């Protein structure tokens, strides 16, 4: 499959057209951003790891019947995905309170929630992705009631599955962000899971030590982001021992190739 023109560039990914109007290529960049783009850097190898981890999780979710946009991974940095119309809401799912909710509501960091909590944020960088109520979604036609009912059911299944998957490899799933999109099927819109699920979009803590294995290493200047993401990939069985070296080497090779172009 050939990469066509650039359709969209986000903070961590680029979307390219293909020769099939229903499919696009999603390219994972090494850019890390936080606090609504105020903090930025490039972390070599991050895109490669997120591509692999997200592929692994979305393939597993397909197997339990969660329809999603992934068609196949093409190479170290690219996936072919179905073109969807993204619902402009970030669905935040929390099992343990940490991050913004602790500051916003004065909740003690690490408080385990009785039930998963779903929060909605409007996807709008200029406004800083503000928290909204479910009623706002319907008042401004960002999604229909039927779509949100379906999304909520999918979210709870995704959360159950992911809690179990990570628990099995000694990781606590603290919280994460999901996005959904509309796919035209026989002239009708079907809501499917879109975007990525990776340590950039989840908070993952080691079950025993509570060590952070996610983007908080960058947000909080803890360092060692690549070793943490590599640890997640290894525990999920995606990378094998000694693959640390190969991720970095392949990244270096691909950046050399890019520079030569």
Please list, in sequence order, all residues whose beta carbon lies within 8 angstroms of the beta carbon of residue 244, skipping any fewer than 6 positions away.
Answer: 226, 227, 230
Footprint on residues 204-223 left by ligand UDP (CB under 6 A): 215
First to last CA, the chain: 19
Stretch that binds ligand UDP, among 2-10, 74-82, 186-194, 196-204 (CB under 6 A): 196-204
Which residue of 203, 228, 232, 247 would you call a contact of ligand UDP, by CB under 6 A? 203
List beta partners, residue 182: 85, 191
**Residue of 60, 99, 156, 189 interacting with ligand UDP (CB under 6 A):** 99
The CB-of-67 to ligand UDP minimum distance in angstroms stands at 21
Comparing CA positions, the residue from 47, 48, 46, 55 lying closest to residue 73 is 55
Let me know the angle formed at the C-alpha of 173 by 85 and 45, rounded to the nearest 5 degrees.
Answer: 70
Separation CA 62–CA 229 (nearest Å): 23
DSSP string computed for 47-74 = HHHHHHHHHHHHHHHHHTT--BSEEEE-
Q: Whose Cβ is closer to ligand UDP: residue 55's or residue 119's?
A: 119
Return the residue of 16, 43, 67, 100 that touches ligand UDP, per CB under 6 A. Answer: 100
- Please identify, using beta-carbon distances, which residue of 52 and 177 lies nearer to ligand UDP: 177
184 CA to centre of own chain: 23
Shortest approach of ligand UDP to residue 179 CB, angstroms? 9
Segment interacting with ligand UDP (CB under 6 A) among 52-60, 72-80, 200-208, 240-248:
200-208
Q: Please identify, using beta-carbon distances, which residue of 55 and 90 lies nearer to ligand UDP.
A: 90
Beta carbons of 96 and 111 less than 8 angstroms apart: yes
Q: How far is the CB of 171 from ligand UDP (least distance, A)?
A: 13
Based on the shown chain and the rule CB under 6 A, indicate whether residue 202 belongs to the binding site for ligand UDP: yes
Q: How far does Cα 185 stand from its chain's mean position? A: 24
Q: Looking only at residues 22 through 81 of this chain, which bind ligand UDP when binding is defined by CB under 6 A?
A: none
CA angle 92, 238, 6 (to 5 degrees): 60
Within residues 114-133, the interface with ligand UDP by CB under 6 A covers 129
With CB atoms as reference, the residue minimizing the distance to ligand UDP is 99
Binding site for ligand UDP (CB under 6 A): 90, 92, 99-101, 129, 175-177, 201-203, 215
């Amino acid at each position: 499959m050939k990469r066509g023109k650039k359709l969209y560039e986000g903070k961590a990914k680029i979307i390219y057209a293909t020769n099939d109007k229903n499919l696009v290529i999603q390219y994972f960049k090494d850019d890390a951003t936080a606090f609504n783009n105020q903090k930025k850097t490039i972390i070599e190898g991050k895109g490669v790891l997120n591509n692999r981890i997200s592929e692994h999780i979305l393939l597993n979710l397909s197997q339990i019947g969660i329809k999603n946009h992934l068609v196949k991974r093409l190479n170290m940095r690219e996936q072919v995905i179905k073109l969807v119309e993204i619902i402009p809401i970030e669905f935040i799912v929390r099992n343990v309170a940490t991050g913004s909710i602790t500051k916003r509501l004065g909740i003690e960091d690490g408080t385990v929630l009785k039930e998963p909590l779903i929060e909605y944020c409007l996807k709008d960088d200029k406004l800083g992705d503000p928290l909204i109520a479910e009623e706002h979604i319907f008042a401004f036609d960002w999604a229909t009631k039927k779509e949100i009912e379906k999304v909520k059911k999918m979210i709870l299944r995704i959360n159950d599955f992911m809690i179990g998957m990570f628990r099995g490899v000694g990781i606590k799933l603290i919280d994460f962000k999901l996005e959904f999109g509309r796919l035209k099927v026989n002239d009708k819109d079907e809501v499917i899971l879109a975007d990525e699920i990776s340590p950039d979009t989840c908070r993952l803590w080691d079950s025993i030590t509570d060590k952070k294995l996610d983007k908080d290493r960058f947000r909080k200047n803890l360092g060692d982001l690549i070793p943490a993401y590599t640890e997640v990939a290894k525990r999920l069985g995606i990378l094998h021992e000694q693959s640390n070296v190969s991720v970095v080497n392949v990244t270096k090779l691909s950046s050399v190739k890019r520079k030569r172009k």
